[in-house]
């Protein structure tokens, strides 16, 4: 079985799909101006994201992932894809194609000195539980459908057009700055999986597994650059 938009209210409002992602982007933009120090800032950020998901998107959140086993396997594979270039090719990320005035430079959003066990737990939990929900609502649930028709309730989840598929993949790559090439490959894989499963629940699951596995990799190798 596949998911459709039947679970969403008729003429589903854009804010339900875009709201949590917009709140997340706004927080990232003003983060350095928030007058809090960690871990209080992390706790407040997580609380804000949870509230945004519940307030805006509670009515459209999927309740299941029908293809949960292959989604888990795919999520682990995408994590391997993400870390492979930097792991296998020394100096890969220092090339001008990845760090320049357009894509930016590799930085970590949390200074290593502040990475206490509590901070690591909070960061991992957000990456695995919150970010996949708000990003997949936007990147796979809303954007490719909006590209096809501004009234997205007319477009089933996973419906394919070349423009929607590739525009979404390219914009997803751009979001990841100096990691754009693995971001592009990840966007292609996720878009393909949405086309294959037509299940937002499976896309949230595969994204969650990718982020969880990547978090374990970052913590075990202390390669904080992967935590942008």
Which residue bears the tokens 């649930």?
Answer: 141
Q: 202 pLDDT exceeds 90? A: yes
Q: Other CB atoms closer than 10 Å to residue 83's CB: what's the count?
A: 17
Q: CA gyration radius for the chain? A: 17
Which of 12-26, 68-82, 127-141, 201-215 has the least mean pLDDT? 12-26
CA of residue 122 relative to chain centroid, distance: 16
- Tell me how many domains the chain contains: 1
The C-alpha atoms of residue 66 and residue 75 are separated, in whole angstroms, by 15
Which residue bears the tokens 């590209």?
Answer: 147
Per-residue confidence (pLDDT) for residue 10, from 0 to 100: 43
Q: 175 pLDDT exceeds 70? A: yes
pTM: 0.93
pLDDT, average across residues 188-201: 98
Which of 34-43, 65-74, 158-167, 182-191 has the least mean pLDDT? 34-43
Per-residue confidence (pLDDT) for residue 75, from 0 to 100: 98
pLDDT interval class at 112 (50, 70, 90): low
The C-alpha atoms of residue 82 and residue 79 are separated, in whole angstroms, by 5
Residue 191 domain boundaries: 5-226
What one-character DSSP code corresponds to residue 9?
P
> What number of H helices and E strands is found in the chain?
9, 0
Q: Other CB atoms closer than 10 Å to residue 228's CB: what's the count?
A: 15
pLDDT, tens digit (0-9, with 9 covering 90-100), for 11-59: 457 999 999 999 999 999 999 899 998 899 999 999 999 999 999 999 9
Task: Output the six-digit token pair for 214.
Answer: 């990547």
pLDDT interval class at 3 (50, 70, 90): low
Per-residue confidence (pLDDT) for residue 18, from 0 to 100: 97
Q: 9 pLDDT exceeds 60? A: no
Report helix, strand or coil for 46: helix
Q: Other CB atoms closer than 10 Å to residue 195's CB: what's the count?
A: 16
Task: Output the six-digit token pair for 81.
Answer: 């894809």
């Amino acid at each position: 079985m596949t998911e459709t938009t039947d679970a969403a209210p008729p003429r589903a409002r854009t804010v339900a799909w875009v709201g949590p992602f917009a709140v997340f982007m706004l927080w990232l933009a003003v983060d350095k101006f928030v007058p809090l120090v960690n871990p209080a800032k992390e706790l407040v950020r997580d609380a804000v994201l949870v509230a945004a998901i519940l307030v805006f998107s509670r009515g459209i959140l999927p309740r299941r992932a029908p293809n949960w086993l292959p989604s888990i396997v795919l999520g682990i594979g995408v994590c391997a894809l993400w870390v492979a270039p930097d792991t296998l090719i020394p100096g890969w990320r220092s090339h001008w194609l990845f760090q320049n005035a357009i894509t930016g430079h590799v930085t970590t959003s949390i200074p290593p000195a502040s990475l206490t066990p509590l901070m690591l737990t909070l960061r991992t939990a957000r990456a695995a539980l919150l970010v996949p929900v708000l990003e997949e609502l936007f990147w796979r649930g809303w954007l490719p459908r909006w590209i096809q028709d501004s009234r997205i309730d007319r477009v089933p989840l996973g419906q394919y057009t070349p423009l929607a598929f590739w525009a979404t993949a390219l914009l997803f790559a751009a979001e990841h700055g100096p990691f754009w090439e693995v971001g592009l490959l990840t966007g292609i894989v996720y878009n393909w999986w949405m086309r294959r499963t037509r299940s937002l629940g499976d896309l949230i699951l595969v994204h969650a597994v990718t982020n969880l596995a990547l978090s374990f990799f970052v913590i075990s190798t202390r390669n904080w650059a992967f935590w942008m």
